[in-house]
Structure 1
Amino acid sequence: MLSPLRSLGERPSAAHLLAALRRVYLLGLAALLIPGLLIGLPYALLGSAAWSGGVLTALGVTALLCAGLALGLATRTARQVTPGTPEGRALSIQAAIQAASAPGVPLLMACTALTQPLALLTLLLLAAVVGVAGWLTLPQWSQRASG
Protein backbone atom coordinates (compact mmCIF):
# COMPACT_ATOMS: atom_id res chain seq x y z
CA MET A 1 0.00 0.00 0.00
CA LEU A 2 2.88 2.38 0.70
CA SER A 3 4.95 1.31 -2.32
CA PRO A 4 4.26 4.56 -4.22
CA LEU A 5 5.85 6.48 -1.35
CA ARG A 6 8.96 4.30 -1.31
CA SER A 7 9.45 4.48 -5.06
CA LEU A 8 9.10 8.26 -5.50
CA GLY A 9 12.81 8.84 -5.98
CA GLU A 10 14.52 12.23 -6.17
CA ARG A 11 12.31 13.96 -8.76
CA PRO A 12 9.00 12.13 -9.13
CA SER A 13 6.61 13.06 -11.87
CA ALA A 14 3.33 14.70 -10.96
CA ALA A 15 1.53 11.45 -11.83
CA HIS A 16 3.69 9.37 -9.47
CA LEU A 17 3.29 11.90 -6.70
CA LEU A 18 -0.47 12.02 -7.27
CA ALA A 19 -0.65 8.21 -6.94
CA ALA A 20 1.26 8.45 -3.67
CA LEU A 21 -0.97 11.26 -2.37
CA ARG A 22 -4.09 9.27 -3.23
CA ARG A 23 -2.78 6.21 -1.38
CA VAL A 24 -1.87 8.27 1.68
CA TYR A 25 -5.28 9.97 1.57
CA LEU A 26 -7.09 6.62 1.54
CA LEU A 27 -4.84 5.21 4.27
CA GLY A 28 -5.53 8.25 6.45
CA LEU A 29 -9.25 7.85 5.92
CA ALA A 30 -9.09 4.12 6.74
CA ALA A 31 -7.07 4.88 9.87
CA LEU A 32 -10.03 6.91 11.12
CA LEU A 33 -12.85 4.73 9.84
CA ILE A 34 -11.70 1.38 11.23
CA PRO A 35 -11.59 2.47 14.90
CA GLY A 36 -14.83 4.38 14.37
CA LEU A 37 -16.59 1.23 13.27
CA LEU A 38 -15.06 -0.79 16.10
CA ILE A 39 -16.51 1.71 18.55
CA GLY A 40 -19.75 2.50 16.70
CA LEU A 41 -20.97 -1.03 16.04
CA PRO A 42 -21.09 -2.12 19.71
CA TYR A 43 -22.64 1.23 20.57
CA ALA A 44 -25.36 0.66 17.97
CA LEU A 45 -25.95 -2.92 19.12
CA LEU A 46 -26.44 -1.76 22.69
CA GLY A 47 -29.10 0.63 21.42
CA SER A 48 -29.65 4.25 22.15
CA ALA A 49 -32.58 6.62 22.46
CA ALA A 50 -33.81 8.57 19.47
CA TRP A 51 -32.09 11.92 19.03
CA SER A 52 -34.05 15.14 18.87
CA GLY A 53 -33.92 17.50 15.90
CA GLY A 54 -31.75 19.93 17.84
CA VAL A 55 -29.16 17.25 18.57
CA LEU A 56 -29.13 16.18 14.92
CA THR A 57 -28.68 19.77 13.77
CA ALA A 58 -25.87 20.39 16.25
CA LEU A 59 -24.16 17.18 15.17
CA GLY A 60 -24.40 18.12 11.48
CA VAL A 61 -23.14 21.67 12.05
CA THR A 62 -20.27 20.43 14.20
CA ALA A 63 -19.29 17.86 11.57
CA LEU A 64 -19.41 20.51 8.84
CA LEU A 65 -17.28 22.96 10.84
CA CYS A 66 -14.70 20.33 11.76
CA ALA A 67 -14.50 19.04 8.19
CA GLY A 68 -14.11 22.58 6.84
CA LEU A 69 -11.39 23.33 9.37
CA ALA A 70 -9.52 20.13 8.46
CA LEU A 71 -9.67 20.94 4.73
CA GLY A 72 -8.60 24.52 5.41
CA LEU A 73 -5.58 23.38 7.42
CA ALA A 74 -4.62 20.87 4.73
CA THR A 75 -4.84 23.57 2.05
CA ARG A 76 -2.72 25.86 4.20
CA THR A 77 -0.08 23.15 4.50
CA ALA A 78 -0.16 22.53 0.74
CA ARG A 79 0.41 26.24 0.06
CA GLN A 80 3.72 26.07 1.94
CA VAL A 81 5.14 23.59 -0.58
CA THR A 82 8.36 24.57 -2.30
CA PRO A 83 8.07 23.03 -5.79
CA GLY A 84 10.52 20.32 -6.75
CA THR A 85 12.05 19.83 -3.30
CA PRO A 86 11.94 16.81 -0.99
CA GLU A 87 10.52 19.08 1.71
CA GLY A 88 7.78 20.15 -0.68
CA ARG A 89 6.86 16.54 -1.40
CA ALA A 90 6.81 15.80 2.33
CA LEU A 91 4.50 18.76 2.91
CA SER A 92 2.17 17.62 0.13
CA ILE A 93 2.00 14.16 1.71
CA GLN A 94 1.31 15.78 5.08
CA ALA A 95 -1.46 17.85 3.48
CA ALA A 96 -3.02 14.70 1.99
CA ILE A 97 -3.07 13.05 5.41
CA GLN A 98 -4.65 16.17 6.92
CA ALA A 99 -7.23 16.28 4.11
CA ALA A 100 -8.22 12.69 4.88
CA SER A 101 -9.31 13.80 8.34
CA ALA A 102 -11.95 16.07 6.78
CA PRO A 103 -14.31 13.27 5.65
CA GLY A 104 -13.11 11.25 8.63
CA VAL A 105 -14.82 13.60 11.08
CA PRO A 106 -18.38 13.07 9.77
CA LEU A 107 -17.62 9.37 9.25
CA LEU A 108 -16.63 8.98 12.89
CA MET A 109 -19.77 10.81 13.92
CA ALA A 110 -21.82 8.58 11.62
CA CYS A 111 -20.40 5.54 13.39
CA THR A 112 -22.07 6.73 16.59
CA ALA A 113 -25.34 7.30 14.72
CA LEU A 114 -25.83 3.83 13.25
CA THR A 115 -29.26 3.54 14.89
CA GLN A 116 -30.32 7.05 13.80
CA PRO A 117 -31.19 6.77 10.06
CA LEU A 118 -31.54 10.51 9.39
CA ALA A 119 -28.33 11.40 11.21
CA LEU A 120 -26.49 8.50 9.60
CA LEU A 121 -27.58 9.48 6.09
CA THR A 122 -26.80 13.17 6.65
CA LEU A 123 -23.34 12.48 8.06
CA LEU A 124 -22.49 9.95 5.34
CA LEU A 125 -23.59 12.41 2.66
CA LEU A 126 -21.48 15.14 4.24
CA ALA A 127 -18.51 12.75 4.44
CA ALA A 128 -18.92 11.89 0.76
CA VAL A 129 -19.06 15.55 -0.33
CA VAL A 130 -16.06 16.52 1.78
CA GLY A 131 -14.19 13.38 0.69
CA VAL A 132 -14.68 14.22 -2.97
CA ALA A 133 -13.58 17.81 -2.33
CA GLY A 134 -10.38 16.58 -0.69
CA TRP A 135 -9.77 14.03 -3.44
CA LEU A 136 -10.15 16.69 -6.13
CA THR A 137 -7.49 18.91 -4.53
CA LEU A 138 -4.81 16.19 -4.64
CA PRO A 139 -3.92 16.71 -8.35
CA GLN A 140 -3.26 20.41 -7.71
CA TRP A 141 -1.02 19.59 -4.79
CA SER A 142 0.94 16.98 -6.75
CA GLN A 143 1.48 19.43 -9.63
CA ARG A 144 2.70 22.10 -7.26
CA ALA A 145 5.01 19.79 -5.31
CA SER A 146 6.55 18.13 -8.38
CA GLY A 147 7.49 21.54 -9.75
Structure 2
Amino acid sequence: MPLEFTINHKDGYLTCKYLGQITDEEIVASWQKFYEGNKWIPGFNELNDLSEADFMCITTSGLRRLAQLSKTMQEKMNIQELKVAIYAPTPLQFGLSRVYEVLAGDSPEIHKIFKDLDEAKAWLKTPAED
Protein backbone atom coordinates (compact mmCIF):
# COMPACT_ATOMS: atom_id res chain seq x y z
CA MET A 1 0.00 0.00 0.00
CA PRO A 2 1.51 3.34 -1.01
CA LEU A 3 -0.01 5.11 2.03
CA GLU A 4 0.44 4.01 5.65
CA PHE A 5 -1.86 5.40 8.32
CA THR A 6 -0.99 5.43 12.03
CA ILE A 7 -2.80 7.06 14.93
CA ASN A 8 -0.84 9.02 17.53
CA HIS A 9 -3.32 8.96 20.42
CA LYS A 10 -0.89 10.64 22.82
CA ASP A 11 -0.52 13.78 20.70
CA GLY A 12 -3.96 13.66 19.10
CA TYR A 13 -3.21 13.35 15.40
CA LEU A 14 -2.98 10.76 12.65
CA THR A 15 0.00 10.30 10.38
CA CYS A 16 -0.27 9.37 6.73
CA LYS A 17 3.11 8.35 5.31
CA TYR A 18 3.30 8.34 1.52
CA LEU A 19 5.70 5.70 0.14
CA GLY A 20 7.20 5.29 -3.32
CA GLN A 21 5.51 6.10 -6.60
CA ILE A 22 1.87 7.05 -6.10
CA THR A 23 -0.87 7.47 -8.71
CA ASP A 24 -4.10 9.44 -8.59
CA GLU A 25 -6.11 6.23 -8.21
CA GLU A 26 -3.93 4.96 -5.35
CA ILE A 27 -4.07 8.17 -3.35
CA VAL A 28 -7.85 8.51 -3.64
CA ALA A 29 -8.53 4.79 -3.04
CA SER A 30 -6.21 4.70 -0.01
CA TRP A 31 -7.90 7.67 1.65
CA GLN A 32 -11.37 6.29 0.78
CA LYS A 33 -10.48 2.96 2.41
CA PHE A 34 -9.09 4.75 5.48
CA TYR A 35 -12.18 6.93 5.88
CA GLU A 36 -14.47 3.91 5.59
CA GLY A 37 -12.37 1.75 7.93
CA ASN A 38 -12.29 1.59 11.71
CA LYS A 39 -9.00 3.48 12.25
CA TRP A 40 -10.26 6.93 11.27
CA ILE A 41 -11.09 9.17 14.21
CA PRO A 42 -13.15 12.04 12.76
CA GLY A 43 -11.77 15.41 13.82
CA PHE A 44 -8.23 14.18 14.56
CA ASN A 45 -5.60 16.50 13.12
CA GLU A 46 -3.39 15.09 10.35
CA LEU A 47 0.31 14.88 9.58
CA ASN A 48 0.97 14.00 5.95
CA ASP A 49 4.58 12.87 5.54
CA LEU A 50 5.52 13.12 1.86
CA SER A 51 9.28 12.68 2.38
CA GLU A 52 9.46 9.20 0.79
CA ALA A 53 6.91 9.74 -1.98
CA ASP A 54 7.37 9.96 -5.72
CA PHE A 55 4.57 12.12 -7.11
CA MET A 56 5.55 12.08 -10.79
CA CYS A 57 2.21 10.38 -11.62
CA ILE A 58 -0.04 12.70 -9.57
CA THR A 59 -2.20 15.15 -11.50
CA THR A 60 -4.24 18.21 -10.57
CA SER A 61 -7.36 16.15 -11.31
CA GLY A 62 -6.29 13.55 -8.75
CA LEU A 63 -5.59 16.21 -6.14
CA ARG A 64 -9.01 17.76 -6.85
CA ARG A 65 -10.69 14.36 -6.32
CA LEU A 66 -8.78 13.89 -3.06
CA ALA A 67 -9.76 17.35 -1.82
CA GLN A 68 -13.42 16.67 -2.66
CA LEU A 69 -13.34 13.27 -0.93
CA SER A 70 -11.84 14.78 2.23
CA LYS A 71 -14.35 17.63 2.26
CA THR A 72 -17.28 15.24 1.76
CA MET A 73 -16.17 12.95 4.60
CA GLN A 74 -15.55 15.88 6.96
CA GLU A 75 -18.94 17.41 6.19
CA LYS A 76 -20.60 14.03 6.68
CA MET A 77 -19.09 13.87 10.18
CA ASN A 78 -19.88 17.56 10.85
CA ILE A 79 -16.20 18.47 11.34
CA GLN A 80 -15.86 22.23 11.68
CA GLU A 81 -12.07 22.58 11.81
CA LEU A 82 -9.10 20.29 11.25
CA LYS A 83 -5.38 21.05 11.22
CA VAL A 84 -3.43 19.39 8.41
CA ALA A 85 0.37 19.58 8.56
CA ILE A 86 2.12 18.57 5.36
CA TYR A 87 5.79 17.62 5.57
CA ALA A 88 7.11 18.25 2.06
CA PRO A 89 10.91 18.59 2.01
CA THR A 90 11.43 18.60 -1.78
CA PRO A 91 10.36 21.29 -4.28
CA LEU A 92 7.94 18.94 -6.14
CA GLN A 93 6.34 17.75 -2.90
CA PHE A 94 6.05 21.32 -1.65
CA GLY A 95 4.56 22.54 -4.93
CA LEU A 96 1.95 19.78 -5.11
CA SER A 97 1.06 20.48 -1.48
CA ARG A 98 0.39 24.11 -2.37
CA VAL A 99 -1.86 22.99 -5.23
CA TYR A 100 -3.80 20.72 -2.84
CA GLU A 101 -4.05 23.58 -0.34
CA VAL A 102 -5.73 25.77 -2.97
CA LEU A 103 -8.06 22.98 -4.15
CA ALA A 104 -9.14 22.23 -0.57
CA GLY A 105 -9.60 25.89 0.30
CA ASP A 106 -13.33 25.58 1.03
CA SER A 107 -12.95 22.60 3.39
CA PRO A 108 -12.65 22.63 7.20
CA GLU A 109 -8.93 21.89 6.79
CA ILE A 110 -6.39 24.43 8.00
CA HIS A 111 -3.22 23.63 6.02
CA LYS A 112 0.37 24.41 6.79
CA ILE A 113 3.26 23.07 4.73
CA PHE A 114 6.61 22.35 6.36
CA LYS A 115 10.11 21.48 5.22
CA ASP A 116 10.96 20.39 8.79
CA LEU A 117 9.19 17.36 10.30
CA ASP A 118 9.66 18.43 13.92
CA GLU A 119 8.09 21.82 13.19
CA ALA A 120 5.09 20.08 11.58
CA LYS A 121 4.58 17.88 14.64
CA ALA A 122 4.93 20.83 17.02
CA TRP A 123 2.33 22.83 15.08
CA LEU A 124 -0.18 19.99 15.33
CA LYS A 125 0.20 19.94 19.12
CA THR A 126 -0.68 23.63 19.49
CA PRO A 127 -4.33 24.75 19.75
CA ALA A 128 -5.93 26.06 16.57
CA GLU A 129 -6.06 29.85 16.33
CA ASP A 130 -9.48 31.51 16.37
TM range (shorter): 0.3 to 0.5
TM-score with structure 1 length normalisation? 0.31
TM-score with structure 2 length normalisation? 0.33
Q: Please identify the structure whose Cα radius of gyration is greater.
A: 1
